């Protein structure tokens, strides 16, 4: 039996989508799959997609929109429609949706926001991946300039997320990402 090749492609602004993509790639390799990990802007990404039996696209959300590079990558590559493919959306709205210390209504509103963001991406790309997995992102206050830090603190406060700008917060639930990778690997082994 031939080992399946999976292309894991990511678009990131601050790096958390890259961390998620790298984690997925490692989890798939640990389950015996051959994986190529590339940023969507890399020239090698197109060749890797051509050689892939399946694909995962990971993209972060900023100001309610997924990275433009991810939109362009999906639009330019009809191969994603021809092979098993998955989309992983990395956002702080998902972090808010996963909070235990907020009301059910707030979690539902945040989950709806995530759904809207994902649907907007799928509508813009005309892509129908087999799987969509929302994943919580990170607040990297120490990497932001003063204006962005101020804006992000205001958004975080409204969403009940951490606001101490002296440190960074990784909110990704790695067990969710692990379960996604495991499920994907099991499907590809069939």
pLDDT one-digit tens code per residue, 55-67: 999 999 988 899 9
CA angle 144, 146, 147 (to 5 degrees): 95
pLDDT for 160-174, tens place per residue? Answer: 888 999 999 998 999
What percent of the chain shows pLDDT beyond 90? 73
Residue-by-residue pLDDT tens, the chain, 190 positions: 567 999 999 999 889 999 999 999 999 999 999 999 999 999 999 999 999 999 999 999 988 899 999 999 999 999 999 999 999 999 988 888 887 777 888 888 888 989 999 999 999 999 999 999 999 999 899 999 999 899 989 988 888 888 999 999 998 999 999 999 999 999 988 5
Task: Show the domain range for 166.
Answer: 140-171
Together in a domain, 57 and 151: no
**Per-residue DSSP letter, 103:** -
pLDDT value, residue 63: 81
> Half-sphere exposure of residue 22, counting CA atoms within 13 Å on the CB side?
6
Does residue 121 share a domain with residue 165?
no
Residues 125 and 178 in one domain: yes
Q: State residue 18's pLDDT score.
A: 97
Alpha-helix runs per DSSP H in the chain? 16-30, 43-51, 68-76, 79-82, 92-97, 104-125, 146-158, 174-189
pLDDT value, residue 36: 96
* 130 plus 157 within the same structural domain: no
Indicate if 97 and 146 belong to the same structural domain: no
pLDDT of res. 1:
53
pLDDT at 93: 86
Q: Name the residue among 89, 93, 170 with its Cα closest to residue 134.
A: 89
Residue 100: the pLDDT is 72
How many structural domains does the chain have? Answer: 2
pLDDT for the residue 120: 96
Same structural domain, 35 and 79: yes
- Indicate whether 154 and 184 sit together in one domain: no
**CATH number of the domain bearing residue 45:** 3.40.50.360
Collect all residues with Cβ–Cβ distance below 8 Å to 29 and sequence separation of at least 6: 35
Q: Are residues 124 and 113 in the same domain?
A: yes
Contacts of 73 (CB under 8 A, 6+ apart): 9, 11, 40, 45, 57
């Amino acid at each position: 039996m031939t080992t399946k090749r999976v292309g894991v492609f990511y678009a990131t602004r601050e790096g958390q989508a890259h961390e998620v993509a790298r984690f997925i790639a490692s989890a798939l390799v640990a389950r015996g799959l051959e994986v190529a990990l590339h940023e969507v802007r890399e020239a090698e990404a197109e060749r890797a997609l051509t050689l892939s039996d399946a694909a995962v696209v990971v993209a972060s959300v900023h100001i309610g929109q997924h990275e433009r590079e991810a939109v362009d990558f999906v639009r330019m590559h009809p191969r994603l429609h021809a092979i098993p493919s998955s989309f992983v959306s990395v956002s702080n709205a998902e972090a808010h949706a996963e909070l235990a210390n907020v009301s059910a209504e707030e979690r539902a509103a945040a989950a709806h926001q995530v759904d809207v963001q994902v649907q907007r991406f799928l509508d813009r790309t005309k892509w129908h991946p087999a799987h969509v997995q929302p994943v919580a992102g990170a607040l990297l206050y120490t990497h932001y300039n003063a204006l962005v830090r101020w804006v992000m603190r205001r958004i975080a406060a409204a969403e009940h997320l951490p606001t101490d700008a002296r440190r960074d917060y990784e909110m990704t639930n790695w067990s969710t990402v692990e379960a996604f990778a495991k499920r994907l690997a099991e499907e590809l082994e069939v």
